[in-house]
Amino acid sequence: MPSNRSMLDGFKRDLGGSLLIFFLMLAFWLVVSNSVHWQHILTGVIIAFITTLLWNQITSKEVGKTRITVRQVYLFILYFICLVWEIIKANFVVAGIVLNPKLPISPGVIMMKLDLKKDLTRVLFVNSITLTPGTVTVDLEGDRLIVHGITKEHIEGLPDWYLLKMAKELEESGD
């Protein structure tokens, strides 16, 4: 087990990234615990700190520092709002399919090339597909993405989906 000194070196190496992970984990904990009692907050701080230490150990070989720009924050918030809207729309479409007595499903699979280079934006986009009802990401290997849809119409427009374009813009805004 590494010493405490080496575990804390990750904070020095990438303070911005460490603080980002810490506050994201703490916010997630507070939402999940659904309480602002001091014991929940203290537990959240401890868990977020330990998670951040472990994250730093995992990413210790990365040389770049995390840079967060105002444009990235704006694009991420916009992406999140659009994703929520797509999830709401897809819920109604899937409910209509399921409630239709004829059950008009036509399952399909699409394989496409994913042009996103950074792992974080790739994971963001792939999880956005899976979070949207009616579609699920089957595999992501290299730049190849396989998606299953409840109907062929669900997946045909995926290569031109505006969320993919937004993810590319988000990725490019970090350079």
Instruction: Give me the long-range contacts of 25-28 (CB less than 8 A, separation at least 24).
Output: 25/51, 25/52
Q: How many C-beta atoms surround the C-beta of residue 93 within 10 A?
A: 16
Mean pLDDT confidence for 79-85: 94
From residue 52, alpha-carbon distances to 16, 17, 21, 106 in Å are 12, 9, 6, 44
Token digits of residue 86: 């797509």
pLDDT of 9 reads: 64
Band of pLDDT at residue 1, cut at 50, 70 and 90 = very low
DSSP category for residue 174: T
The arrangement of strands across the sheet holding 108-113 comes to 108-113, 144-149, 135-141
pTM across the whole model: 0.71
24-68 per-position pLDDT tens digit: 889 888 888 888 889 989 999 999 999 888 877 776 665 566 677
User: Is-contact 147 118, C-beta < 8 A?
Assistant: no
